[in-house]
């Protein structure tokens, strides 16, 4: 039977059917898988990793056979979860269905064939006796397991699996046992290994009785190791004068250590660890951890560097070739590179300018505006490798700096992983989602990040796992994020912020036409297919509403997939994609009406905000009901927005005359302000003017103009104050089809950044007082007193 189940990869052990095993998981994907499974039918397929160093294993990194298990208990701990699982049945991994947010695989169950021949019974009896003997000789087995094995009347199949888990053998051997399918063969193998263990235990007992009292407690660990070696020597399992693990392996590590050209102290450390390894028995589970550690030390690019040649002309050309527009951004990057180049040259001439602190670039902007692809272009122009890690949701310092080696399943942190992935020690290293780094009791990741990014400190970046310092000073870090204000301020101070505000419709059109279309054609193996301008605009206006071009790219790719299929099936396909094809391939419009096409309404106002996805328009709704002057706020309102609402309410109360209201109007009614779901605006004061407008409209029953958007903070006295994000907000207003935008007077200076096309299509009005905004936003002014309440 084939079923699809969540998969939890494990390192360093094998779970057998018919056994209970306690497992710990730290990787987010595994935690997700476990939690999901626990909430569903509790079934999870457990597969062992071939190489425990791999952080995100896929199919080829896992052994083909594993165990389907039920989760009997689960407990969350600081850095992951502990789960008690009970193995049910052997399974084969057919394929991975999806990798995110956790692995799901199609697995095929391999049922055991029940065999109760007399031979099986005989071996089973033997196994049970041998196991008891091993126990009496001091075999180390968990109490839970002993109870199970002794008290339960296990079938031969169960008994074999249960004993198999207790065997002290290498991982590969355990896996081999798991995937030995004929029962009789498996039983014989288990018996053989168990006999060997009994042998060892007997010899050990002999030796220990004579040596035990000679050493004090502190030496116990060493003695055990010594004893084990003595035993193994006696059994002829290790050879060589010094009883080394396998001198071949040691030699190979030595070569790798030398080849890695590590700094002196690191090399010393590596060699010291290698000596430790060489003295260890290969049965010692610690030897696996040591190997892992040595592998990491050898794999980190201590001395691999890409040649350092910043050519400004080349950088300009590469960026131009791949990106439309972004003029200012490109200029700032080129300036930055120029300074870097000059400093490098000075350094080469021996004039080390200690005063200068190279800052780190930080790209801030909504998704899909080209931050990553500009980063890649920089790497290419500089002839450097490109690495990229995401910091989103990181709360634990250990994610940046690694876990200490004493931790089971410890790995280096993401910085060192990224460096290894780049393979050089001077890559262009992109740190995505720097605005989503969290902090809690597990430590503040931003301080570890600071150490990684700070040129003063990063020459000696210490990773808890590596234990030795790595020089990050040659790495070209670029951080990226959607918004600036959640970037930890200590980090913000060290970075040169470059903002990507989002594209206008026209820019998207050009980008689509010149870059994305061609790129996607190539990706889909198509040539000579064109798209009409109208069709492209149709996609932009009716199927996407975004600051960047990601959805545009996705939609174009959806169309080309359909065309590619027609071509492959040798059916008739359009050579030039027209509007009607777009509708045919993408279905009906996703965004049908522009805001400007909607009617004016009472108690509604159109605000402009900046969200994680860039600029957005948002609607403020106000309704009134009889009451006692209470103000209720619902929807996506943060604390600062609530304060704006209070200020707006106060202003209307003190200006009742101006608005033609009765002096005590407020005492007879309740006000409800609501910001409908949809875009989630960041909390900020800039909705002040729009909240006031909606409120005044509701109070006076005068409709607001729907094609008029506004943004601005207001004070209790009705002054309109400066706000941020003018470029993003005006582009969003343009996208939504607004005709007029009201801005604070103090923001007039920001108009320079606003794209020409936006300035041409929209009428901008700058105001100092809220009355001036009301005059424009309301359909009627001055308000003739209606004495409505
Ligand atoms: P971000 O990192 O900001 O989320 P990406 O760099 O992933 O965005 O960009 C998304 C896609 O849009 C990429 O395929 C990129 O090449 C394309 N793109 C974005 N901006 C431009 C531009 N100005 N010119 C050409 N292509 C662009």
Q: How far is the CA of 87 from the centre of ligand 1 (A)?
A: 47
Q: How far is the CA of 371 from the centre of ligand 1 (A)?
A: 7
Distance CA 254, CA 599 (A): 78
Would you say the CB of residue 553 lies under 6 angstroms from ligand 1?
A: yes
Backbone dihedral angles phi then psi of residue 402, each to the nearest 5 degrees:
85, 160
How crowded is residue 207: how many other Cβ atoms within 10 Å of its Cβ? 16
Average pLDDT of the residues in 26-49: 90
Mean pLDDT (the chain) is 85
Would you say the CB of residue 372 lies under 6 angstroms from ligand 1?
A: yes
For 781, counting Cβ atoms within 10 Å of its Cβ (0-12 exposed, 13-18 middle, 19+ buried), the class is middle
pLDDT digits (tens, 9 = 90+) for 176-212: 999 999 999 999 999 999 998 888 888 877 776 655 5
307 belongs to an annotated ligand binding site: no
Ligand 1 closest atom vs CA 323:
24
- CA max distance for the chain: 109
Would you say the CB of residue 371 lies under 6 angstroms from ligand 1?
A: yes
Burial 529-565 (b: 16+ CB within 10 A, else e): bebeeebbbbbbbbbbbbbbbbbbbebbbebbebbbe
Would you say the CB of residue 378 lies under 6 angstroms from ligand 1?
A: no
Average pLDDT of the residues in 751-770: 93
CATH fold group of domain 503-584? Helicase, Ruva Protein; domain 3 (1.10.8)
Q: How far is the CA of 432 from the centre of ligand 1 (A)?
A: 14
Would you say the CB of residue 612 lies under 6 angstroms from ligand 1?
A: no
For 576, counting Cβ atoms within 10 Å of its Cβ (0-12 exposed, 13-18 middle, 19+ buried), the class is exposed
Distance CA 261, CA 698 (A): 74
Ligand 1 closest atom vs CA 366:
3
Distance CA 91, CA 163 (A): 20
Distance CA 411, CA 403 (A): 6
Q: How far is the CA of 208 from the centre of ligand 1 (A)?
A: 69
Whose CA is closest to 432, among 372, 373, 480, 476?
Answer: 480
CATH homologous superfamily, domain 310-497: P-loop containing nucleotide triphosphate hydrolases (3.40.50.300)
CB 710 within 8 A of CB 693: yes
CATH of span 1-107: 2.30.130.40
702 belongs to an annotated ligand binding site: no
Q: Is 128 a catalytic residue?
A: no
How crowded is residue 504: how many other Cβ atoms within 10 Å of its Cβ? 21
Residue 409: predicted pLDDT: 73
The yes-or-no verdict on residue 309 having pLDDT over 80 is: no
Residue recorded with tokens 């699982």: 85
Enclosing H/E stretch for 461: strand 461-462
Q: How far is the CA of 501 from the centre of ligand 1 (A)?
A: 13
Would you say the CB of residue 83 lies under 6 angstroms from ligand 1?
A: no
370 belongs to an annotated ligand binding site: yes
pLDDT digits (tens, 9 = 90+) for 628-638: 888 888 876 77
**Residue 167 structure tokens:** 């065997």
Asked if residue 782 has a cis previous peptide bond (ω within 30° of 0), the answer is yes
Distance CA 26, CA 43 (A): 19
pLDDT digits (tens, 9 = 90+) for 549-566: 999 999 999 999 999 888
- Tell me, rounded to whole angstroms, the distance of Cα 418 from its chain centroid: 13
Distance CA 357, CA 420 (A): 26
The residues facing 499 across adjacent strands are 364
Would you say the CB of residue 364 lies under 6 angstroms from ligand 1?
A: no
Would you say the CB of residue 323 lies under 6 angstroms from ligand 1?
A: yes
Asked if residue 207 has a cis previous peptide bond (ω within 30° of 0), the answer is no
pLDDT digits (tens, 9 = 90+) for 56-67: 888 899 999 999
Question: What contacts 24+ positions apart, CB below 8 Å, involve 762-768?
Answer: 762/730, 762/733, 762/734, 762/738, 763/739, 764/730, 764/740, 765/740, 765/741, 766/742, 767/712, 767/720, 767/742, 767/743, 768/719, 768/720, 768/744
CB 679 within 8 A of CB 569: no
Distance CA 330, CA 511 (A): 16
Q: How far is the CA of 515 from the centre of ligand 1 (A)?
A: 9
User: Same CATH fold, 503-584 and 1-107?
Assistant: no
Would you say the CB of residue 384 lies under 6 angstroms from ligand 1?
A: no
Catalytic residue among 30, 154, 278, 686: 686
Average pLDDT of the residues in 142-162: 78
Residue 236: predicted pLDDT: 59
Distance CA 146, CA 547 (A): 63
Ligand 1 closest atom vs CA 375:
6
Would you say the CB of residue 370 lies under 6 angstroms from ligand 1?
A: yes
pLDDT digits (tens, 9 = 90+) for 97-112: 888 788 899 999 998 8
CB 409 within 8 A of CB 26: yes
pLDDT digits (tens, 9 = 90+) for 722-755: 998 899 999 989 988 899 999 999 999 999 989 9
Ligand 1 closest atom vs CA 376:
6
The yes-or-no verdict on residue 788 having pLDDT over 50 is: no
Q: How far is the CA of 181 from the centre of ligand 1 (A)?
A: 52
CB under 8 Å to 653, separation ≥6 — which residues?
665, 666
587 belongs to an annotated ligand binding site: no
Average pLDDT of the residues in 531-549: 89
Ligand 1 closest atom vs CA 549:
12
Backbone dihedral angles phi then psi of residue 234, each to the nearest 5 degrees:
-60, -40
Nearest residue by C-alpha to atom 24 in ligand 1 = 323
More confident residue, 144 or 644: 644
Ligand 1 closest atom vs CA 552:
12
CB under 8 Å to 704, separation ≥6 — which residues?
600, 601, 602, 604, 605, 606, 693, 694, 697, 777, 778, 779
367 belongs to an annotated ligand binding site: yes
Average pLDDT of the residues in 158-183: 91
* Domain locations along the chain: 1-107, 116-200, 310-497, 503-584, 602-775
Enclosing H/E stretch for 469: strand 469-470
Residue 244: predicted pLDDT: 46
For the chain, what percent of residues have pLDDT higher than 70? 89
Burial 602-622 (b: 16+ CB within 10 A, else e): bbbbbbbbbbbbbbbbbbbbb
Ligand 1 closest atom vs CA 365:
3
CB 210 within 8 A of CB 83: no
Would you say the CB of residue 375 lies under 6 angstroms from ligand 1?
A: no
Q: How far is the CA of 97 from the centre of ligand 1 (A)?
A: 28
Distance CA 656, CA 340 (A): 60
Nearest residue by C-alpha to atom 18 in ligand 1 = 370
Distance CA 196, CA 207 (A): 17
CATH of span 116-200: 1.20.58
Would you say the CB of residue 289 lies under 6 angstroms from ligand 1?
A: no
Q: How far is the CA of 132 from the centre of ligand 1 (A)?
A: 66
pLDDT digits (tens, 9 = 90+) for 213-251: 544 554 566 666 667 666 766 665 555 444 445 677 888
**Probe ligand 1: pick from 329, 363, 364, 373, max atoms within 8 Å of CB?**
373
The yes-or-no verdict on residue 321 having pLDDT over 70 is: yes
Catalytic residue among 174, 269, 385, 729: 729
Distance CA 207, CA 778 (A): 97
685 belongs to an annotated ligand binding site: no
Q: Is 562 a catalytic residue?
A: no
When pLDDT is cut at 50, 70 and 90, the band that residue 364 belongs to is very high
pLDDT digits (tens, 9 = 90+) for 591-613: 765 665 677 888 889 999 888 77
- Tell me, rounded to whole angstroms, the distance of Cα 251 from its chain centroid: 39
**Probe ligand 1: pick from 369, 521, 552, 614, max atoms within 8 Å of CB?**
369
Selected from 3.30.230.10, 3.40.190.10, 1.25.10.10, 3.30.420.40, the CATH number assigned to the domain covering 602-775 reads 3.30.230.10
HSE (side-chain half, CA atoms, 13 Å) at 569 = 9
pLDDT digits (tens, 9 = 90+) for 73-84: 888 887 788 899
Kindly write down the DSSP assignment for every residue of 203-251, as one continuous string.
HHHHHHHHHGGGS-GGGHHHHHHHHHHHHHHHTT---STT--S-HHHHH
- Spell out where 240-381 has E strands: 360-364
For 88, counting Cβ atoms within 10 Å of its Cβ (0-12 exposed, 13-18 middle, 19+ buried), the class is middle
């Amino acid at each position: 039977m084939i079923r699809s189940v969540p998969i939890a990869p494990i390192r360093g052990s094998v779970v057998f059917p018919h056994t209970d095993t306690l497992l710990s998981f730290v990787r987010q994907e595994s935690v997700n898988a476990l939690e999901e499974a626990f909430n569903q039918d509790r079934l999870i397929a457990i597969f062992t990793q071939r190489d425990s160093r791999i952080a995100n294993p896929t199919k080829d990194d896992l052994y083909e056979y594993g165990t389907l298990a039920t989760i009997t208990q689960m407990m969350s701990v600081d850095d992951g979860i502990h789960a008690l699982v009970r193995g049910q049945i052997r399974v084969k991994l057919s394929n991975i269905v999806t990798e995110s947010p956790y692995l799901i695989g199609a697995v095929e169950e391999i049922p055991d064939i029940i065999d109760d021949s007399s031979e099986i019974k005989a071996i089973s009896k033997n196994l049970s006796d041998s196991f008891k003997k091993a126990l009496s000789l001091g075999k180390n087995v968990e109490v839970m397991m002993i109870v199970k094995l002794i008290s339960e009347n296990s079938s031969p199949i169960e008994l074999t699996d249960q004993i198999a888990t207790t065997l002290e053998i290498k991982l590969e051997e355990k896996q081999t046992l798991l995937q030995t399918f004929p029962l009789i063969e498996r039983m014989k193998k288990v018996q053989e290994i168990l006999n060997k263990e009994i042998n060892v235990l007997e010899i050990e007992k002999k030796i220990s009785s004579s040596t035990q009292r000679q050493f004090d407690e502190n030496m116990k660990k060493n003695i055990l190791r010594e004893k084990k070696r003595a035993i193994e020597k006696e059994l002829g399992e290790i050879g060589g004068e010094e009883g080394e693990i396998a001198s071949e392996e040691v030699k190979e590590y030595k070569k790798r250590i030398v080849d890695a050209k590590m700094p002196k102290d690191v090399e010393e450390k590596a060699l010291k660890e290698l000596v430790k390894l060489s003295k260890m028995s290969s049965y010692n589970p610690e030897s696996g951890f040591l190997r892992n550690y040595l592998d990491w030390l050898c794999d980190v690019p201590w001395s691999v560097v890409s040649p350092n040649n910043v050519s400004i002309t080349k950088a300009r050309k590469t960026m131009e070739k791949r990106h439309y527009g972004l003029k200012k951004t490109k200029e700032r990057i080129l300036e930055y590179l120029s300074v870097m180049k000059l400093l490098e040259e000075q350094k080469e001439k021996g004039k080390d300018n200690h005063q200068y602190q190279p800052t780190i670039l930080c790209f801030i902007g909504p998704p899909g505006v080209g931050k990553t692809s500009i980063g890649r272009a920089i790497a290419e122009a500089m002839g450097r490798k490109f690495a990229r890690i995401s910091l989103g949701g990181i709360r634990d310092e250990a994610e940046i700096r690694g876990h200490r080696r004493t931790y089971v399943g410890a790995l280096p942190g993401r910085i060192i992983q990224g460096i290894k992935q780049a393979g050089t020690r001077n890559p262009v290293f992109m740190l995505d989602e720097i605005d989503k780094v969290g902090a809690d009791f597990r430590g503040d990741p931003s301080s570890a990040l600071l150490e990684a990014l700070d040129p003063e400190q990063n020459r000696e970046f210490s990773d808890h796992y590596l234990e030795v310092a790595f020089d990050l000073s040659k790495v070209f870090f670029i951080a990226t994020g959607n918004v600036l204000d959640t970037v930890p301020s200590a980090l913000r101070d060290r970075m040169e912020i470059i903002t990507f505000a989002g594209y206008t419709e026209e820019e998207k059109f050009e980008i689509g036409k010149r870059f994305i279309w061609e790129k996607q054609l190539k990706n889909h193996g198509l040539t000579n297919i064109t798209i009409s301008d109208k069709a492209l605009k149709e996609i932009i206006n009716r199927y996407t509403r975004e600051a960047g071009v990601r959805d545009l790219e996705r939609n174009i790719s959806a169309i080309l997939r359909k065309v590619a299929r027609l071509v492959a099936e040798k059916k008739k396909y359009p050579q030039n994609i027209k509007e009607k094809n777009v509708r045919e391939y993408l279905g009906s419009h996703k965004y049908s009406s522009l805001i400007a096409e909607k009617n004016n309404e009472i108690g509604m106002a159109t605000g402009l905000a900046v969200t994680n996805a860039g600029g957005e328009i948002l609607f403020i709704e106000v309704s009134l009901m009889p009451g006692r002057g209470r103000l209720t706020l619902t929807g996506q309102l943060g604390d600062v927005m609530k304060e704006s609402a209070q200020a707006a309410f106060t202003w209307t109360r003190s200006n009742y005359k101006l608005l033609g209201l009765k002096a005590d109007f407020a005492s007879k009614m309740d006000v409800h302000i609501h910001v409908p779901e949809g875009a989630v605006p960041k909390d900020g004061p800039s909705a002040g003017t729009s909240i006031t407008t909606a409120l005044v409209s509701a109070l006076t029953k005068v409709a607001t103009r729907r094609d008029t958007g506004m943004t601005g903070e207001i004070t209790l006295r009705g002054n309109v104050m400066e706000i941020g994000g003018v470029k993003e907000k005006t582009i969003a207003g343009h996208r939504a089809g607004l005709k007029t935008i009201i801005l604070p007077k103090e923001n007039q200076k920001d108009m320079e950044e606003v794209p020409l096309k936006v300035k041409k299509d929209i009428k901008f009005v700058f105001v100092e007082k809220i009355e001036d905004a009301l005059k424009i936003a309301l359909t009627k002014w001055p308000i003739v007193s209606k004495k409505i309440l």
